[in-house]
Amino acid sequence: MSSNLTQPSCWAEAGRNGGPYSVDLRSRARARKAAGETHRQITAALRISASCLSKWARHERETGSLAPARTGGHKPRTLSGECAQ
């Protein structure tokens, strides 16, 4: 199977530019794991890192979702009241 059929180039670009990978790619990786493929086979076929795959599995266990976590802007301010202004 050609790599063009397993992963469009837009998926590879998402991770390189700092944006999250798509939920579709994450669910494809999960389906391959459920089908019995090894991490090495999955990462080679989908052109993702092994650490990425294991982090997605941990994230799904902890949150119950494959959706990427929010990035930036969601942490409470360290200072409050007069000190913050």
Task: Delineate the domains of the chain, giving CATH numbers in brackets.
Answer: 3-65 (1.10.10)
Alpha helix segments (H runs only) across 7-38: 9-16, 23-34
Q: What is the pLDDT of residues 37-65, one digit of tens each?
A: 999 999 999 999 999 999 999 999 999 99
Note the pTM of the prediction, 2 decimals: 0.64
Are residues 46 and 6 in contact, defined by beta-carbon separation less than 8 angstroms? yes
**Cβ pair 32, 42 in contact under 8 A:** yes
**Contact between 5 and 47 (Cβ < 8 Å):** no
Question: 78: pLDDT confidence band, cut at 50, 70 and 90?
Answer: confident
Whole-number Å distance between alpha carbons of 21 and 26: 7
Amino acid at 59: H
**How far is 73 from 2, CA to CA, in rounded Å?**
40
Q: What is the mean pLDDT of the chain?
A: 79
